A = this chain, B = another copy of it.
Amino acid sequence: MRSSNSLDQLIEALRCLPGVGPKSAQRMAFHLLQHDRRGAGRLAQGLDAALQRLRHCTRCNSFTEAEICERCLSARRDPALLCIVEMPVDLNSMEQTQAYNGLYYVLMGRLSPLDGVGPKELAFERLLARASDGVVREVILATNFTNEGEATAHYLSELLHARGLKVSRIARGLPVGGELEFCDAATVAQALRERRDFS
């Protein structure tokens, strides 16, 4: 049901943005038209340019304009470490720590059978080929600690172990500055189970 009016069409088009319902879309459209026509023009151009230019890096599967992204080509990174994350935002979180200098593979999702997302949809074959390049020594699973992220990590660890790769998982525990009193019991229990030698 497309409207013939360009205002209604814009409002409808804005709803493709995640978390934007009819009311927000309306507010956004009026804001752009009344107060930020330049911004709206830039957004239209930005969308066009991104759709035309961006594709998936053939090595890490993240978005890039080249065939292989700068990060994957960097000589300053350790190619023996491969960190698997669900989405580009997760990769950014890892990078912000400045505590990791290996390479990445972005799944662009997580196993979610109820949504019809299985190993095929996530192209696990490509990931396995990437991890089996003979250079990678350790695969670090950094999927989220949600049910789906955990399931994805378990599934992947079996496939990767079968190929003789060392597989690790980022740690769970209390957050930095965290207090036992205000932490949920499951996290405290996990922190206890995964306690480390302390010297």
Stretch at the interface among A14-22, A133-141, A162-170, A182-190: A14-22
A65: interface (CB < 8 Å): yes
Report if A54 contacts B (CB, 8 A). Answer: yes
Contact: B30 with A13, CB < 8 Å? no
For A89, the chain B residues whose CB sits under 8 A away are 23, 26-27, 30
Cβ of A77 within 8 Å of any chain B Cβ, yes or no, is no
Number of copies: 2
Give the number of residues in A that approach B within 8 Å (Cβ atoms): 49
Does A30 lie within 8 Å of B65, measured CB to CB? no
Among A4-12, A94-102, A150-158, A173-181, the stretch that binds chain B is A4-12
Q: Which residues of B contact A47 (CB under 8 A)?
A: 10, 13, 32, 40-41, 43-44, 47
Residues of chain A from 79 to 106 with CB closer than 8 A to chain B in the complex = 87-89, 92
B12, B17, B32: which contacts A16 (Cβ < 8 A)?
Answer: B32
Q: Could you tell me if B44 and A6 are in contact, using CB atoms closer than 8 angstroms?
A: no
CA distance A14 to B44 in the complex (A): 9
**A31 proximal to B (CB < 8 A):** yes
The smallest C-beta distance from A122 to any residue of chain B, in angstroms, reads 12
Of B5, B19, B52, which one neighbours A65 at CB under 8 angstroms?
B5
Given contacts A7-B54, A13-B43, 7 further A-B contacts (CB under 8 A): A6-B46, A6-B49, A13-B46, A17-B32, A26-B92, A43-B47, A44-B45
A contact set with B: CB distance below 8 Å: 5-7, 9-10, 12-14, 16-19, 23-24, 26-34, 36-37, 39-54, 63, 65, 87-89, 92, 108-109
